[in-house]
Structure 1
Amino acid sequence: MTGPSPAPRPSPPPGDGPRARLLRRLRRGARVVAAELGTASPDAAPLFGGAGPRWVRWLPYLVVFGCVSALLPVTVTVLIQDYRLNGALAGALATAQTAPLLLAVTRPMHAWWIVLTADVLGAFALLGADGTEGRSWPWTPMVVVGYLVLMACLGLREPRRRLVAVWLATGAAGLLFELVSQRYSDGVHLLLFVLSGVVLVVTGALRERGEAQRLLHAQETISEAERAQRTLLEERTRIARELHDVVAHHMSVITVQADSAPYRIDGLPDAAREEFASIAAGARESLTEMRRLLTVLRSDGSAGEKAPQPGLERVPQLVAATVRAGVPAELSLPEALSGGGSGSESGSGGGSGGGEVPPAVDLSAYRIVQEALANVVRHAPGARTRVSITADDRELTVLVVNGPPSGAVSPLEAAGTGHGLVGMRERVRLTGGTLDAGPLPDGGYRVAARLPLDGGDAAPGVGDTDTTGGGS
């Protein structure tokens, strides 16, 4: 007893066999190739047009002009004498096959269409020539040389898919003539197919490598600009956090004085009492807003420093720490500015002028000295350094000068983060002063800052020279 017979396999619908699928794929591939061959790069700039030296920009023109000058007469001579082609026809074919190479510098796809058409017409013309027997056909040696030059121009200009389409079209043209006449064909079409592929691969790889380098350079430029902007914002945020303590102190004094005025001054009218109350309320509201701003500036989670902000009275400690780090540093700081500290020398270049240094200037001067000494330790180890701080009735002058380094600089310290000069520049701009920073002829570095003591408006008068000699 036999089981049930298996169900018959459904037959594929008409037009869905392997041969039909292959034909559909071939048609899609042909449409893609045709679409690529029908387009060209919109940029008409010449090859190497963006190069710096002039001779590099003129090099493609010289190469193709030399090829045309050599190939044109040789092609005419060979077609007439060897292939025994009519002179007028030989001249027309030779011109059409070689002269478009001059166009390949700016529009290689247009030149390729003209040259390929001329080569195909020339191959058909050579079929009826008397001297074709035993010679290269369908492509003459001059055609092969000119076509390879054209492939080089294409590879340096067009995208990869278009190059593949050109290469396939070259092979299809050679295969067509192989089918037309195997009597004259000597395999030169296969040689041109292989050589053109090699030239396209090499030049295309060079083009893509150049584009990758240009993109990398552009990205590095953007990253450097972003890094500089981030450094500037970080320094401004740091300065804002430090100045919060200075401004908050003054606002607290205003609040206390406004609140206590009615109790300290007898016989104040009601209007004056209300005015003092309004001043105290405005000061308290300003303090609240400043605390909120400080919270935003410290959004990175840092708790901030609890110690008071430093000033000129701590510069001697800063210089002493620098000496312990191996840098022979000297300090010239009048006692009137240092608050009578024992670590400073009596400066010979002026006194304090009897005026009190504003807190913002005091803090900025300390930070400038701190950044300058840090740069000396990092970029000029062992260099003799002198710090001089003087003041008159109008401005405070900070001068830090170091000599050439006496020891080797670590490669890790050769390039800094950029925070040093940026921080100095922003602090000087904050106080409305000027900054002069730059290298010295003997290999040292000089930082000079002038900070006004009259509380003038901030001015963009910062003229510094940022070099690799001392900026961090």
Structure 2
Amino acid sequence: MIEVEEEERPRALLAGASRRWVRLLPWAVAFVLCVALLPTTIVVLTADYGLNGGVAAGLAVAQAAPLLLAVVRPLQAWYVVFTADVAGSLLLLTADFQERLLWPFPPMGIVGYVGLCVALGLREPRRTLLLVWLATAGANVALGFAAPHTFSAKNLLLTILGGVALLLGGVLRERYEVQRRLVEQETISEAERSRRTLLEERARIARELHDVVAHHMSVITVQADTAEYRLGTLPQHVREEFTSIAATARESLGEMRRLLGVLRNEEARGELMPQPGLAQIGQLVEATARARGPVEFTPCDVEVPEAVGLSAYRIAQEALANVVRHAPGARTQVSLSVTEPDPEQGARLTLLVVNGPPPEPPDEPLEASSTGHGLVGMRERVRIIGGTLDTGPLPDGGFRVAAQLPLTERDLT
């Protein structure tokens, strides 16, 4: 029950603002109005309008004090202030005041009521604001029939200024709501874009791994099918064992192709070619050096699983593409090395791509529509094969990409 009550507790005006001074502004304005109008109303009602001091004090409290409540509950404050203003107008009919003075609502009441209308506009919906203005206009016109002096346009000042204040507050509230929804939509769109990029990269990885696994399964099938011809005379039970292995491998390959077939489309047929690995990173470096600047490459002659070689190639490809996009002409170092065996993780293949700052800031980005999610694909590749990735800017303005990948099939599992 306590939690429900806390959720239903109304928030102060502008409580959702990011800056503290904006959140405190409604309280400051309400306090200043209350402190300024309270004594002023008493003095003016007694000295100028000739109202009794006790009655004037009561009206002043009823008209000014609710302005503090308006910061949290403006509609409830309006009920009190509106009733007090109408009652004050009726009480002024019993006093003898000059025709030049405003009636039915003195200047102090108009100032407080306009401030209250701004608070209403910032909190209440259009229908409520319209009803408030109609009530104000109706009371103003009805009191005009009992005017002790000539009723003119200046006597409608509360209706006019109150309507303007309600309109201003409503416009500000709706503008804030539009901006808030726009920010929320941009946040949702960015999250959805990141999710879509991740899913696309997973699909691409799955297609590539499918080619790798399909190759191995095909080799198993062929070797099992041809074993009896390559190995000479085999016992019947051994021949049946090889036949069973070939059938199982063929069935598994078919199931895998059916499961991953949805990831292939007509445009993906080019991916059926052999996938690149560590041996092709040197060619990638040479192509980048010819296109955009000096690139140093330190190779490493080591045997790795195809999935690891493919991931290393794709990470290097994305890292060099980022250098071309964001730091054209920057000196870049690409190195492959094997770390010392670790008791927990074992030996690891380390891929390091480090670039310095660009010689000159590019006049314009090479890809204006870049999504900026290239690192998402790197992290996903590394995560799938059980490696680690470390990326980040360098003090000199460059950037560093360091990936550690498992060396053996055992580490992949």
Please give the TM-score of this superposition, normalised by the length of structure 1: 0.80
Are 2:373 and 1:407 aligned?
no
Match of 1:139 among 95, 99, 105: 105
Counterpart residue number, 2:389 = 435
- Which of residues 335, 341, 348 in structure 2 aligns to 1:395? 348
CA deviations 1:62-105 (Å, max 9, x no partner) are 11011010101111111111111122211111111111111110
RMSD: 2.1
Q: Which residue of 2 aligns with 1:341?
A: none
Whole-Å Cα distance in 1 between the matches of residues 411 and 129 of structure 2?
64
TM-score normalised by length of structure 2: 0.91
Alignment deviations for residues 343-394 of structure 1 (CA, whole Å, 9 cap, x no partner): xxxxxxxxx3xxx211111111111111111110010011001111123672
Instruction: State the secondary structure of the residue aligned to 1:437.
Output: strand
Q: 2:317 matched to which residue of 1?
A: 370
Match of 1:74 in 2: 40
Q: Is the 8 A contact 1:101 1:111 kept in 2?
A: yes
Cα distance in structure 2, aligned partners of 1:195 and 1:134 = 19
The SS at the match of 2:95 is coil
Match of 1:434, as an amino acid? T
Q: Kindly indicate whether the alpha-carbon contact (under 8 Å) linking 1:431 and 1:452 is maintained by their aligned counterparts in 2.
A: yes
- In 2 relative to 1, CA 58–419 (structure 1 residues): closer, same or farther, beyond 3 Å? closer
Match of 1:447 among 401, 405, 408: 401
CA-to-aligned-CA distance 1:416-443 (integer Å, 9 cap, x gap): 3234211211111122111111111000
Q: Where is the helix percentage greater, Structure 1 or Structure 2?
A: 2
The answer on whether the counterparts of 1:400 and 1:446 sit within 8 Å (CA) in structure 2 is yes
Q: 2:143 aligns with which of 177, 196, 205?
A: 177
Say whether residues 1:125 and 2:97 are aligned partners: no
Distance 1:149 1:43, change over 3 A: same
Quick check: 1:386 aligned with 2:333? yes
Distance 2:180 2:411 in 1: 44
Secondary structure of the corresponding residue to residue 351 of structure 2 = strand
* 1:261 alignment counterpart: 227
Please tell me the residue identity of whatever aligns with 1:84.
G
**3-state SS of paired residue (2:49):** coil
Q: CA deviation at 1:412?
A: 5.5
- 2:277 maps to which residue? 311
Among the aligned pairs, what percent are the same residue?
Answer: 61
**Structure 2 unaligned runs (5+)?**
1-7, 342-346
- Greater mean deviation of Cα atoms: 132-141 or 382-391: 132-141
Q: Which runs of 5+ in 1 are unaligned?
A: 1-41, 338-351, 460-472
- Count how many residue pairs are aligned between Structure 1 and Structure 2: 399
Superposition pairs of residues 311-350 of structure 1, within 5 angstroms: 311-334=277-300, 337=301
Q: Secondary structure at the match of 2:168?
A: helix
What is the letter of the counterpart of residue 367 of structure 1? R
CA 1:89–1:182 in structure 2 vs 1: closer, same or farther (change >3 Å)?
A: closer
1:85 paired with 2:51, answer yes
Report what 1:94 is aligned to.
60
Q: Which residue of 2 aligns with 1:360?
A: 307
Equivalent position of 1:151 in the other structure: 117
Matched to 2:256, the amino acid is M
Residue identity opposite 1:399 in structure 2: L
